[in-house]
Amino acid sequence: MTAPTPLIAGNWKMNGGSASLSEAKAVAAGAGKGAARVALCPPATLIAQMAWALRDSSVLVGGQDCRAEASGAFTGDVAAEMLADAGAKLVILGHSERRAGYGESDALVAAKVEAALRARLEPIVCVGETLEQRKAGDALSVVTGQVRGSLPAALAGKPFAVAYEPVWAIGTGLTPTTAEIEETHRAIRATLAEMFGEAGRVVPILYGGSVKPSNAAEILHAAEVGGALVGGASLKAEDFLGIVDAL
Ligand code: 13P
């Protein structure tokens, strides 16, 4: 089996309006020459406009969450099919801001992954421990448990990615050591191989949490790191391209 194709994805979270499409276009103009696949996940309100603006580029557009159901009386929610209809190709699921802020369980994340697959979206499934869990020596068991619980068997043979995002590294400027990232990514890889056999060896395992141009090269070249999920530094094309170029 060949090595996973790296994926660098930007998660804009709840930031950006139509004026920010210029940043997306600047990303599209500067990306696409390297080895990585590049994606931007804007707020749901911007997906259709961004997909149209980037239609001639290699940069993919993704959502940040979806509902597990395909339709119904769920005020304010967005179905996977709706993301796909708007032009999304990927969707971030199980982000810690959703697990912590909305009580999303592994089982709910797995149901959302199945919804994404029905809509032919490529899921980026997030896992990661809190600082308390790391200090207690539980990081690997927490993360591998989330991998087992959040990835349904239906993913076998489908394209997907896992993003390791330590909760304490998100938006804090803190990052694990390279050795800690490698140890965790190796544990995720072993779990994927147990669950999906050979196919589990080509799933990109992204690192996320305070990735910026100045630390991207070291993180992206660490063992078993197959790309990055970037928050704050994805809002400015110059910073995001600095990360894409670090690969
Ligand atoms: P930051 O890059 O802002 O730390 O956010 C990471 C993240 O949560 C991406 O999903």
Instruction: Indicate if 81 belongs to the active site.
Output: no
Return the C-alpha torsion angle 200, 207, 217, 198, nearest 10.
0
What is the per-residue pLDDT across 127-186, written as a single tens digit (0 to 9) for each?
Answer: 999 999 999 999 999 999 999 999 999 999 999 999 999 999 999 999 999 999 999 999
How many CA atoms, within 13 angstroms, populate the side-chain half-sphere of residue 132? 0
What is the reported pLDDT for 175?
Answer: 97
Å from CA of 208 to ligand 1 middle = 6
Task: Say if residue 3's pLDDT is above 90.
Answer: no
Task: Say if residue 1's pLDDT is above 70.
Answer: no
Q: For ligand 1, what atom is nearest to the CA of residue 173?
A: 4
Is 235 in contact with 15 (CB distance < 8 Å)? yes
Instruction: Indicate if 104 belongs to the active site.
Output: no
Return the DSSP state at 55.
Answer: T
Mean pLDDT of 10-16: 98
Mean pLDDT of 222-238: 98
Task: Say if residue 33's pLDDT is above 80.
Answer: no
Confidence of residue 207 (pLDDT cuts 50, 70, 90): very high
Give CA–CA dist 13/69, Å, rounded. 22
Give CA–CA dist 194/231, Å, rounded. 30
- 232 touches ligand 1 (CB under 6 Å): yes
Confidence of residue 2 (pLDDT cuts 50, 70, 90): low
> Alpha helix (H) ranges present in the chain?
21-30, 47-53, 80-86, 96-101, 106-118, 131-135, 139-150, 178-196, 213-220, 237-244
Return the DSSP state at 5.
Answer: P
Å from CA of 121 to ligand 1 middle = 21
- 62 touches ligand 1 (CB under 6 Å): no
Averaged pLDDT score across all residues of the chain: 97
Q: Which residue in the block uniquely carries the two structure tokens 């919804």? A: 115
Give CA–CA dist 225/71, Å, rounded. 36
Mean pLDDT of 100-124: 98
Task: Say if residue 195's pLDDT is above 80.
Answer: yes
Task: Say if residue 32's pLDDT is above 80.
Answer: no
Confidence of residue 4 (pLDDT cuts 50, 70, 90): confident
What is the reported pLDDT for 143?
Answer: 98
User: In percent, how much of the chain has pLDDT > 90?
Assistant: 96
